[in-house]
């Protein structure tokens, strides 16, 4: 993962950089003593992970996150443990490290970051208020805004770790939620869970072959236990 370090203390930056150098999966591209410099860098470069201090002059870590339209994964590094609850209001924050940082705790944070999909979350930053329905529309919480999705336009929902990928005719959305939660919000006459990781819009099926269905360009597996219900739902000659 390509990463940057943002911390106003040179010693703290050096320690985090040294911890990063001990892991082959991490490559530190730049270090910044303030958030303004980092914003300029991010406007021209894409990265996977940010190590971010909370307390910095003029611009706090949270202020910095608010400026990012599509934030990458962020690990907070701070000497203050009092902001942990506030931190996890942001889905882009994957862990909260309190200084001094032990190597074992650092490695655990990286493993957590690694386990999360690298797809940038278009991107949700609130938890457990992600999905709601109203009539023919589904509302998803993205960047602390409720985005309306027309339900019939959804053709596929895929579980990706702690996220779900909602694919529509117009756009794709990645939301922090569970497949079960969105399954409960979708109308049963249109949608069917065909696999533990996939829900499909049965009206959008193009082709069925053996234990898979073709929707758009996506080939979706159909589990043996779910195939009878799928065949039952189809208007077969």
pLDDT score of 23: 94
- Cβ burial 117-156 (10 Å sphere, 16+ → b, else e): eeeebbbbbbeeebbeeeeeebbbbbbeeeeebebebbbb
Show the domains of the chain with their CATH numbers.
2-115 (3.40.50.2300), 151-233 (2.40.50.1020)
| Rounded-to-integer distance, Cα 45 and Cα 63, Å | 20
Q: Is the pLDDT of residue 2 over 70?
A: yes
| pLDDT of res. 210 | 81
- State residue 131's pLDDT score: 63
Top pLDDT among 200 and 138 is at 200
Summarised one tens digit per residue, pLDDT across range 32-52 is 998 888 998 998 898 999 999
Could you read off the pLDDT of 142-167 as tens digits, one per residue? 766 778 899 999 999 998 877 889 99
pLDDT over 50 (residue 127): no
Confidence label for 121 from pLDDT (cuts 50, 70 and 90): very low
């Amino acid at each position: 993962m390509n990463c940057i370090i943002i911390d106003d203390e040179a010693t703290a930056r050096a320690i985090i950089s040294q911890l990063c150098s001990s892991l082959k999966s991490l490559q530190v591209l730049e270090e910044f003593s303030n958030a303004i410099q980092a914003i300029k860098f991010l406007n021209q470069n894409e990265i996977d992970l940010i190590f971010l201090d909370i307390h910095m002059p003029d611009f706090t870590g949270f202020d910095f996150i608010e400026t990012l339209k599509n934030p990458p994964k962020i690990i907070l590094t701070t000497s203050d443990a009092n902001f942990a609850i506030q931190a996890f209001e942001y889905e882009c924050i994957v862990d909260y490290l309190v200084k001094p940082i032990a190597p074992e705790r650092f490695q655990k944070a990286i493993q957590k970051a690694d386990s999360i999909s690298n797809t940038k979350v278009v991107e949700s930053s609130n938890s457990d208020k992600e999905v709601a329905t109203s009539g023919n529309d589904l509302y998803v919480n993205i960047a602390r805004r409720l985005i309306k999705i027309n339900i019939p336009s959804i053709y596929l929902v895929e579980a990706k770790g702690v996220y779900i990928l909602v694919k529509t005719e117009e756009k794709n959305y990645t939301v922090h939620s569970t497949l079960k939660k969105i399954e409960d919000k979708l109308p049963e006459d249109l949608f069917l869970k065909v696999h533990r990781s996939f829900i499909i819009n049965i009206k959008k099926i193009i082709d069925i072959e053996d234990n898979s269905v073709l929707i758009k360009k996506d080939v979706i597996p159909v589990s043996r236990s779910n195939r009878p219900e799928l065949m039952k739902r189809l208007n077969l000659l």
